[in-house]
Structures are given as structure tokens and as C-alpha cells.
Structure 1
Amino acid sequence: MIAIAFIGFRTWQQLRPPVSEPLSSLAIAVSLTPLSAPIIVAKEQGLFKKHGIAMTLKPVHGGVKSFQTLMSGEVDLATTSETVVMFNSFERDDFNVLTSFVESDNDVKLWSIDREISGSLAHALDNARVGIVASSASEYFFDSLLQLHDIPRERVEKVGYPPEALPKALLDEKVDVIAIWEPYGYQLLKQSNQPVHSLDSKGLHSLSFLLVSDRLLVNKQHQDMQRVVSALDDAVNFIHQHPERAKVQVSAYLDMSDDKLSWLWQDYLFRLSLNDSLLLRLKNQARWAQEAGLVEGSTPSFRHILNPGPLVEATQKVSLLE
């Protein structure tokens, strides 16, 4: 009798109209790059709202600015690269990485106008002024090139710029070479009246784009964080099932041509993950930053800032529904 009554109660629950709950309002700093595609698609497809989140997108230039916007309290979440996470981990531990949502091994590139960089890189970079975004994937990528080609750091001069200023710095001959991620390489190609050279460096540097939140917010609004990750999981599935529709939404948001986005899109692996591979990259980059004298102190406990809880709960919930 108890079992029958319980089944009847569950059936009644399923038949009654759903109770509408107020949406939780959150804001996310979104780096203006195709790597942010799952965030853009989740917003455009109404997936955040579907999971009970009224999400506001705050566009910013680059993961460094995105992280700074989060730490200043202007937003609740941010998109950024693992290099930015690594650098900030030496200074603070009041944030959490909730998930990685895309990876690419060809997003950051080296660009030049006057110097042919596809031949002897050591010769091309001799006494070069190189524009980089300090404490970002741009700087890590460039230093990895120097190490790979046995080029002493003293042979080049690194000049820091915000990401959006790098194409113009190269065009104005303030620097000879720039290391930058997309879509700024695309912008350079559009703006230059001269032939632009780029280095084929596919596979040299794998970049992950991460969803980061304030640690206190994760503790206070854990269910909301799980809902955000669930929306991203839906967005990744949408990208896989409807890539052309997803690209239309992303290209419109970023004001990028469909052809250029399609060319970049093939290098992206969209998936949610938070695994030991990311942990290893964080440790390797920390070792590089220490050896280069870019940070002080001992290696942070990166495992401490990775919070897989919302991701595990979101993906388990999906598995149960399926």
C-alpha cells in the first residue's frame, strides 16, 4: 500500500503544472574571441534561462581583463585561459575554476609585416621588439618559441600591450612582431595594406579556455554554478549538433566574417572537462614563470583552485535524464 501511494504521489507530481521559480541573476565577463563560443551560444539559445539563470554578458578584451573584471566584483564569472589562472594563483586563492569548455592548439600565433618569420626564426627575431600581452597565453606562447628555437631571451625586447592594441602597434611599427590570439590576427589581416607573415606553430601550444568564479560565490550559490555549467553542457551539445547555426550566432556576436570563423573553428575542441591534463599544464607553466623570474614564491596548490563539484553534478544529472 505504501509503494502504491508513493507511485501515485509521483504521478501527481509529474502531471501538475511546473512551479515557476524566479531566475537567479548573474553576470559573466566574456573575452571577445571565438573561444567563448559556448558562452555566446548558451546566451543566444536561451540555455541559461532554461536552467534558471538570467545571465548578463559583459564583453571584454582578453582573459587578463576578464579575470580582473571578476576580481573587482563587477561580474560573478569570467572566461580566461589557464595561463592567466596560473599567474594569479601566485597572488591569490579566492577563486575557483569550474570547468574548461574549449581547447585549441592553434589559436595563439606569431605575426609580422616586415620580417619573414617562417624561415629562420632566430634570424627573424634578432634584436626584435615583440609585442605581447603580459602574464597571458601570449607571453607563454612566445617564450615557448624562444625555448624551442634556442633563442636567448636577451636577443629580443618584449613590449607589453593590451590585446586589442597589438595589431595597431605592429601596423604603426612600434613593434616588429606580435604574439596574439584570435580574432586579433584576423583583424591585422583586414587592416594591413601590406603582406602579413605568420608562423605555422600548430601543435606547439595547447590553450584551454576556462570558466572561473569567485570562491565565496561558489560556496554560497553552488546550485546556481551547477546550473551555469549545465547550460554550457547544453551549448556544447548544440555546437556539435548544429555547428552552422552556432557559427552564425558567434560570428554575429563577434562581428567576424563567416569564412574567417569557419577557418578558426576547425582548431577548436568543444567539451567540458576538469582533469589532470589541465593540472599538468598549470604546473608546467608555473615552472616556466618561475624560471623566467616572472613570479615569486613557491608553486601554488593548483588542485585547490579546481572545483569539479558543479561539473560533476551537472553531467551526472544529464546522464540520469538520458
Structure 2
Amino acid sequence: MNKKQAWVLAAVLVVIGIVAALESSSSRPLPAPIPIVIARLRAPISGLVDIAIAKDYFAAEGLSATIQSPALGYDAIQAVLQGNADVGTTAETPIAKVLLEGRQLKIVGSIFNSVEDPGIVGRRDRGVIQPKDLKGKRIGIVAGTASHYLLETFLAYHRIPLEDVTLVQIKPDQLVSALVSGEVDAEAVWHPFLYQVQQQLGERAEYFSTSGIYSFNFNLVVRSDYAQLHREAIDRLLRALLKAEAFAAKHPDEAMTIIASASGTDIAALRANWNPLAYEVTLNQSLLLATESEARWILRRGFVPAGSVPDVLNAFEIEPLRALKPSGVSIVK
């Protein structure tokens, strides 16, 4: 065998070896996907979760996701604490309440924030045209939620004493009918209900912006023990949601279609309100400050027994997101 033939034979053997290695690796079973149960609200604020489902990002990251749809963020937290879900989606108000109750949670990210959702809607035909017109009116709230905190913050900002209005507790599924039927004169309400009441009331609806008064955050929470024992699942979850974030930024029309379908929202509502809505995975200092502020509000309102403001900073699990998206974390810990 001459030198040329030897080189050819060696090259063939190398190729055969590579092919054999590839065949061996491809025949090797992939690691089993990690099961994860996510309790997310059926609303546009859960948009990144719904995009991740629709685009199979969870599966691509090795997660077998089961989705639950509780009515409120507090219900999602209860599902997590009771072991019926691994991850819950919620605003910061229920988080503050749970921490005040002495129960342990970890916040691993926010997936939505906005200065326009939730908002205040009044009836013009009831004389509600300016914020000051809320004085003496019946105003609907879902007690103890972000909408309740928003309303009281809004009233304080406009120097309307709480005793000068009548708060009416309403269930989430009755928010639209309560305002449209005239049971209340105004409401603190979130999408998709916010858009629905505006559509049904038409020119009789007056919307008050809360920009500069309140910023809403929608967050991911897990049990403390889950955060310690299941870092890989949290990493995969965040990677899938970061893919959804990138998709929403690059393909807003398709993202709106997915979110509208998943949440049962008219797509026109999303188009009309898309710009103020931030579908981003973050952990911002403003969330920490808001949670502490809402904990103090909950104590003042007596929603929990008297006590002190908990160590909210300790509830943040920032390392997983900081490792994946350093620019998304502004909390110093």
C-alpha cells in the first residue's frame, strides 16, 4: 500500500468513525422532560406563558408543562403553596399578603408590566368625567387585589378621602356586568374586562390613566423548597419565557393573535393597548419597592393581623434570571 492509499484509507476510517458516533448519539434516548405545573391566569398579562405554549418553547427546553387557570393571583399562589402547582403567576399584592401571613415564597421573575393595566373606568352618564367626580360614587373593586390597591392609591393621589366613596366588592367574573348594569358608577378593573366594559359602554365610558401613579407587575412565584431543589426546571422555564419575549418583540402581530386567543380577549383590545404593555422577563427594583409598599397598605387595612413588614428582599430568587439575562435584573441583593 502506497502513501496515497494509506491517507485515503485513514480518511475513510475517520468518516466511518464520525458517522458511527453520530448514529450512536442519535440512538441514545434523550433525557426525560421535566414535568412542571404552571398556574397562570387566563388573561393578556399571562401572554408570555401562552406564547411559550403555542410555539412549543417549553417542550424545546425540556419541560412537560401542564397549565392551570385560576381566577386570581392569590388562587395561583395557594395552588403553589398547597403543592398543586409548581409555578404561579400573580401581581405583587397577593405576594405581599402571603408574606405577611408568614408563608414562604420565591419570586423568580416578572413576565409583564404596565402603567395602564389595570385602570379606572367610570360612567360619564353617572357624572364621572374627571377623577374628582369619583367623590360620592359607588366604585367596584376585587377586594385585597392589585385593583383594590390601585384604586386607593389613585384616590389618595387625587386627594379624595376614602370615606367619600363607597367601595363595592365584586367577583372577577361580574366586573363587566356590574358596571354595565349600573350597579356601580366606576371600577378598578384589568384586561380583558377593562376593554369589555369600554366596548359595551361606548361613549358612556371614561377611562382614567394611572400612569405615574401605579405600575403593575405580573410575576412568577415558586415555593422556597422548589427554588432550592429544582434550579434546572426554573432555568428551563425562564429560557422558554425569554424565547417568548423575543418572539413578541419580533413578531408582535402573531404574538397578539396568540395572546388574544389564549385569553379570550378581542384582538382589537390588544392592538389598541399594545405599546404600554411590556412583555418582558425582568426583576426590577421597582417591584421590590411596590411589594413593600403594598405590604404596609395591607397592614393598615387590616387584611392580616397586626405585624411588621416582612423581609421582602429575601423573597426574591434573582440568580436564575441574572445568569440568563443580566440586564433584566436591577434588584441588588
Q: Distance in 2 between matches of 1:71 and 1:211?
A: 13
* 1:34 corresponds to 2:34: no
Q: CA deviation at 1:194?
A: 7.2
Q: Per-residue displacement from partner, 1:85-124 (whole Å, max 9, x unpaired)? A: 11221013322111012210111111223434332x33x2
Q: Provide structure 2 residue ranges, at least 5 long, that are not aligned to the other structure.
A: 1-16, 327-333
CA contact (8 A) 2:44 2:265 kept: no
CA contact (8 A) 2:157 2:213 kept: no
Residue in 1 aligned with 2:65? 55
Q: Distance in 1 between matches of 2:220 and 2:23?
A: 34
Q: CA deviation at 1:13?
A: 8.8
Residue in 1 aligned with 2:76? 66
Q: Per-residue displacement from partner, 1:3-47 (whole Å, max 9, x unpaired)? A: xxxxx99xx799943741111111111112211111000111000
CA contact (8 A) 1:227 1:314 kept: no
- After superposition, residues 1-322 of structure 1 pair within 5 angstroms as 16-17=25-26, 19-113=29-123, 114-119=125-130, 121-122=131-132, 124-192=133-201, 195-295=204-304, 296-315=306-325
Q: SS at 1:271's partner residue?
A: coil
Letter in 1 for 2:324: A
Q: CA deviation at 1:288?
A: 3.0
Q: Distance in 1 between matches of 2:177 and 2:70?
A: 18
Q: SS at 2:102's partner residue?
A: coil
Q: Distance in 2 between matches of 1:81 and 1:149?
A: 24
Q: CA deviation at 1:279?
A: 1.2
CA contact (8 A) 2:122 2:129 kept: no
Q: Distance in 1 between matches of 2:120 and 2:139?
A: 9
TM-score by length of 2: 0.84
Q: Per-residue displacement from partner, 1:116-142 (whole Å, max 9, x unpaired)? A: 4332x33x2233221111221101110
TM-score by length of 1: 0.86
Q: SS at 1:260's partner residue?
A: helix
Letter in 1 for 2:122: S
Q: SS at 2:94's partner residue?
A: helix
Q: SS at 2:241's partner residue?
A: helix
Q: Distance in 2 between matches of 1:77 and 1:237?
A: 21
Q: Whose radius of gyration is greater, 1 or 2?
A: 2
User: Against the structure 1 CA distance between its residues 14 and 138, is the aligned structure 2 distance closer, same or farther, given a 3 Å change threshold?
Assistant: farther
Q: CA deviation at 1:208?
A: 0.9
Q: CA deviation at 1:81?
A: 0.7
Q: SS at 2:212's partner residue?
A: coil
Q: Percent identity?
A: 27
Q: Distance in 2 between matches of 1:250 and 1:300?
A: 35
When the two chains are superposed, the root-mean-square deviation of aligned CA atoms in Å is 2.4
Q: Distance in 2 between matches of 1:284 and 1:237?
A: 31
CA contact (8 A) 1:118 1:199 kept: no
Aligned length: 305
Q: Distance in 1 between matches of 2:70 and 2:111?
A: 18
Q: SS at 1:150's partner residue?
A: coil
Q: CA deviation at 1:186?
A: 1.4
